[in-house]
A and B are shown apart, each in its own frame.
Chain A
């Protein structure tokens, strides 16, 4: 039991992470077959999500699905740092993050990825997803009437990120993609 990671003096019940199956990706990476989502929706605070991450790691979770738009990567990053200081090794954990919809622009992608890297204090990401294929922004907690278009076109962004070593070998995938690769959107310049 990974009791060294417990947040209290009481050992916690849990699962040996070695028993959790994994999926072999086409890149050769082993992705734990369950992850903890970290979108607290509109009712779980950033700190509470970070606490959940810590607790999850203490009971055997080794895969965390993060995103910049969830607004809590800084808090989760502090949880990761504490976990690593307590002896968990970075390569024992799978960390995913995602590029938000208003950062599809050519000059926005890498800074956004670097912001997630810095907030999460993880050194590298195992997987970096384009969060949605929709190049717009809505503020956290908005209703369905909130719509705004910004920019897009991440045609080469994955390759650039992967080649620059910011993301793990697994690189990325689309998350909830819908991008039209060869057709610039109305009023938006193609890169």
Chain B
């Protein structure tokens, strides 16, 4: 989903959406769309909140970066004595999105949840993470292209207008 398409949806929908699920992590913060949703009263739900280390091969490219390997995240994690993933979760909660991390690892599931109820990140840490955005979309949607000559960027209306299908 993108701003121009949400505009159309809000124009046409008889019942207004209450939530929008989107990729959100420290390296892909989507600040414009995020703020837009809050302004419209639409709750952002964030998938890949720790950078989706287990995503399928088809969603990997050499340019991808990993928020849980970011030096700033690592430094905050070390300071708090938690896994870097927990820092990403805490950042998400405090920023206002609802993260939906997947894990089948019991220890990680528990530490992610404990991160939600333990002491929030300091404002300085929140500010430091806000500066980490790299506009690095990990789930690019390559499998959704159905016309020759399109690139995955075409799916995301990067120039602010809806890319013709």
Contacts and interface: CB of A to CB of B under 8 A. Distances in A.
Interface of A: 13-15, 19-21, 23, 25-27, 29, 31-44, 48-49, 51-52, 55-56, 59-61, 63, 65, 101, 127, 129, 132-134, 136, 138, 141-144, 146-149, 155-156, 158-159, 162, 170-183, 185-186
Contact of B141 (A132, A142, A149): A132
A52 B93 contact: no
A170 B20 contact: no
Residues of B in contact with A, size category: 35 or more
B89 A25 contact: no
Given A144-B142, A173-B18, A180-B165, A36 B5 contact: no
A32 B144 CA distance: 30
B100 A34 contact: yes
- Chain B interface main SS type: mixed
Closest 10 CB pairs of A and B: A37-B102, A173-B17, A134-B144, A177-B1, A173-B19, A35-B100, A144-B142, A175-B21, A65-B100, A52-B104
Mostly, the A contact residues are loop
Given A51-B104, A178-B2, A34 B98 contact: yes
Contacts of A55: 106, 109
A39 B145 contact: no
Given A52-B104, A170-B19, A174-B6, A19 B117 contact: yes
A172 B55 CA distance: 25
A48 B104 contact: yes
A148 to B, nearest CB: 7
Contacts of B22: 175-176
A14 B143 contact: no
Given A147-B145, A174-B6, A36 B15 contact: no
A180 B162 contact: yes
Given A23-B43, A162-B15, A175-B1, 11 more contacts: A20-B116, A25-B19, A34-B99, A42-B57, A52-B102, A127-B18, A129-B19, A149-B146, A171-B17, A178-B155, A180-B162
B114 interface: yes
A181 B5 CA distance: 8
B20 to A, nearest CB: 5
Given A33-B116, A36-B101, A176-B22, A134 B141 contact: yes
A6 B93 CA distance: 26
B146 A148 contact: yes
Given A136-B146, A155-B12, A179 B5 contact: yes
B58 interface: yes
Nearest to A169: B18
Contact of A176 (B1, B96, B103, B162): B1
B165 A186 contact: yes
A172 B13 CA distance: 11
Contact of A41 (B20, B56, B99, B144): B56
A183 B156 CA distance: 17
B18 A171 contact: yes
B14 A34 contact: no
Nearest to A158: B15
Contact of A173 (B20, B93, B116): B20
